[in-house]
Amino acid sequence: MTTKKQISIADHFDYKKLIKFTRPSIMMMIFTSIYGMVDGYFVSNYAGAVPFAALNIMWPFLMVISAVGFMFGSGGMALVAMKLGQQKTKQANEIFSLITYALIIIGIIFSILGYIFAPEAAVLLGATDELLPYSILYARINMAGMTAFMLQHLFQSFLITAERPRMGFWITVAAGITNMILDYYLVAVLRMGLSGAAWATVISQLVGGIIPLIYFLMPNKTVLRLGRTKWDGNAILRTCSNGLSELLSNAASSIVGMLYNHQLLYFIGTNGVAAYGVIMYVNFIFIGIYFGYAMGVSPVIGYHFGANNKDELKNLFNRSMRLIITTGVVLTIIAELTAGILAKVFVGYDPELLELTKRGMMIYDLAFLMMGVNVFGSALFTALNNGKVSAFLSVVRSVILEVSMILLLPIIFGGQSLWAIVVLVELGSLLLTIVMIVKYRRFYKYI
């Protein structure tokens, strides 16, 4: 009887192996997006439009805080994968342990601060008197699980680096199912409203963060294990600089979400915020495919970069670009065809809101054609330990282009132009990403 050989990040990757290795990460991100949508579904349908708008108002605030987990995960993964490629396993484990312990301390501090300043954050985000009590309640309950949420983001990257992407997927499934069941029980059955959805989220985050923490603390068959470490300021600095683009991207997305909500409230009203919330839920599923692929392939790129394997870097780059471009075309077609159906799931109870959501979604969906290349381009430079270029791409895309357009376009063309902003942003970012890829092709030799 023969057993299937496990795929290693040191392997040569053809299309079949590349898809097989990144598939758990892609499924993990899709599933994360789906169970995130469940909150919105239950709150919207069982608590009403006002609590649903309050949830959407505070979600960017929560994402800004949790983005630190993304930074440590993606930045630390790039550094640890490179050390593994250089055959420095002991140092890789020391860095992995240091990053994890540091994140736990940061998570606790941020959770306390988030609880204290939740009212100020809600006002800053534009919560009206009607939305304010719901917004504060939702944010404060979520602080109970914030450290675990950060750890969940961290271990999603390191389980792939440890060549256990399937485990990362199943842990996410466990967390998601926990969230879905509790959403149904607490919101639909017990009628706890927004607080029920918040507690369901917290408990699911504890599942997603604590299980992998226990796994890495105990003896396991992977190259990574949490243990003794020593202070290494340079490793922390490199982790933060490598992952800065992910932090900026997530933080900027949250800031952009705040601005979107503010502009939507001003130009369209509460229905605009609710419609944007639905579009974001759907967007998370589609963009989750791109982020999942980037997350899955990044440790492989980092390993071969550390091993100075230029031929495999070229192979990974070429195959990845072909897969991403093809996927972009397919996803855009699917998104356009299903816009009405997906909008009806969330806001079918209100014909006016349904029409607004469907119209906005069909414009927004065109961005999927270009989004994949932009996500991969940023992840590529992070994996190559070039946080500066990755951060530059993220800042231009998520801050300079998007913020300026959100502030200016509705003044010139009216509130409905808000739906087209992301399409223009992704187009501009695509041109810049191509320039950066071509500029550094000879230095890294991935083309």
Enter the tokens of residue 101: 């312990």
**Digit-coded pLDDT (tens) for 399-429:** 788 888 988 988 888 878 888 888 999 999 9
Radius of gyration of the chain (CA): 21
Q: Which structure tokens are listed for 278?
A: 């639905």
Query: How many other C-beta atoms lie within 10 A of the C-beta of residue 140?
Result: 17
SS in 3 state form for the chain? CCCCCCCCCCCCCCHHHHHHHHHHHHHHHHHHHHHHHHHHHHHHHHHCHHHHHHHHHHHHHHHHHHHHHHHHHHHHHHHHHHHHHCCCHHHHHHHHHHHHHHHHHHHHHHHHHHHHCHHHHHHHCCCCCCCHHHHHHHHHHHHHHHHHHHHHHHHHHHHHHCCCHHHHHHHHHHHHHHHHHHHHHHHHHCCCHHHHHHHHHHHHHHHHHHHHHHHHHCCCCCCCCCCCCCCCHHHHHHHHHHCHHHHHHHHHHHHHHHHHHHHHHHHCCHHHHHHHHHHHHHHHHHHHHHHHHHHHHHHHHHHHHHCCCHHHHHHHHHHHHHHHHHHHHHHHHHHHHHHHHHHHHHHCCCHHHHHHHHHHHHHHHHHHHHHHHHHHHHHHHHHCCCHHHHHHHHHHHHHHHHHHHHHHHHHHHCHHHHHHHHHHHHHHHHHHHHHHHHHCHHHHCCC
Percent of the chain scored above 70 by pLDDT? 98
158: its two tokens: 């390191």
User: For tokens 């500029």, what's the residue?
Assistant: 439
Nearest Cα residue to 152 out of 236, 224, 219, 210: 210
Q: What are phi and psi of 220, to 5 degrees?
A: -145, 175
Q: How far apart are CA 417 and CA 405, in angstroms?
A: 10
Q: Contact at 8 Å (CB) between 262 and 126?
A: yes
What is the pTM (predicted TM-score) of this model? 0.77
Helix axes 132-142, 49-85, angle to 10 degrees: 30
Cα 261 from Cα 422, distance rounded (Å): 14
Tens place of pLDDT per residue across the chain (447 aa):
344 567 788 889 999 999 998 998 888 888 777 766 777 778 878 877 788 778 878 877 888 888 888 889 888 888 888 888 888 889 999 999 999 999 999 999 999 999 999 999 888 877 778 889 999 999 999 999 999 999 998 998 889 888 888 898 899 889 989 988 998 899 888 888 888 988 998 999 999 999 999 999 998 888 889 999 999 888 898 888 888 777 777 777 767 777 887 888 888 887 887 788 788 777 777 888 998 899 889 889 988 988 889 999 999 999 999 999 999 999 999 989 988 888 887 777 778 888 888 888 999 999 999 999 999 998 899 889 888 898 889 888 877 888 889 889 888 888 788 888 889 999 999 999 999 999 999 888 887
Per-residue pLDDT of 350-363, as tens digits, reads: 788 888 888 889 99
